[in-house]
Structure 1
Amino acid sequence: MTGQKLFRFEDLTIWQSAIVVGDELYDIADLLEAKRLYRFAEQLRGAGMSISNNIAEGTGTASTNEFRQFLNYARRSCYECANILVVIQRRNQIDEEIKQRLFVELANLSRKIYNFQQTLR
């Protein structure tokens, strides 16, 4: 049964992208935690996981409108992650280049989620 996808979200490129970005954010959170910056780490992990979680959860809904709402939550989490990155970069916990690279990834993901959301009308 390996390779067989059991959940609809696994085929969505927005979910696949969210998992990749989430991994990167999780790695930064691990570094923050090692510096005993637990609150920053917790916030970044939660917001990063929220993107893919909401996409996945939305695929399990019974209505298109409800799915669109979960996609909206996922997009909002992209913005939350971007804000957290600004704060931790201003606190000199990550380099400007890392923040900018992740900004691009989060902005692209947010746009892809929005475009997918529009196809559900």
Structure 2
Amino acid sequence: MEEKHYQTFEDLLVWEEGMQLCVQVYALLKDCRDYSFRDQIQRSAVSVPSNIAEGFERQTDKEFVQFLFIAKGSCAELRTQLYLAGELNFIEKKQSVVYVEKTKKLSSMLQNLIKVRRARIQ
């Protein structure tokens, strides 16, 4: 299977998915009155596509992988906060489940990209 060569980070499906999830998280918690929690979960959501973009622009696979791991960590942080949002009734539990699944999908996409990029370093 031929590997695709992307010109910009905007070409990456994982970045696009991260952006969509970020926008959705902002909308989901727009009415949350716990401003500290809302700020933290928004920061986690923003961190995912931001680190994908920053890593891509570093131009080396080694640095890109490092930033993909940071994005993956932020995705796990976001997933934890979505569980909490459901438990604390900031969002409905069924919404929490839906968005937790989205973070799992995104984390899997990140892991697959890490695997591909790591293979190029070896």
TM class, shorter-length:
0.7 to 0.9
How far apart, CA to CA, are the structure 2 residues paired with 1:19 and 1:110? 13
- 1:47: Cα distance to partner? 0.1
Alpha carbons 1:51, 1:78 under 8 Å: kept: yes
Q: Structure 2 unaligned runs (5+)?
A: 1-6
Alpha carbons 1:29, 1:42 under 8 Å: kept: no
User: How many residue pairs were aligned?
Assistant: 112
The answer on 1:23 being equivalent to 2:18 is no
Q: How does 1:1-121 map to 2 (within 5 A)?
A: 8-32=8-32, 35=33, 37-120=34-117, 121=119
- 1:82: Cα distance to partner? 0.9
How far apart, CA to CA, are the structure 2 residues paired with 1:24 and 1:94? 13
How far apart, CA to CA, are the structure 2 residues paired with 1:98 and 1:23? 15
Percent pairwise identity: 27
Deviant stretches of 4+, over 6 Å = none
- TM-score w.r.t. the length of structure 1 is 0.88
- 1:62: Cα distance to partner? 3.3
- 1:88: Cα distance to partner? 1.7
Q: Say what the alpha-carbon RMSD is for the aligned residues.
A: 1.1
How far apart, CA to CA, are the structure 2 residues paired with 1:11 and 1:62? 15
Q: Structure 1 unaligned runs (5+)?
A: 1-6
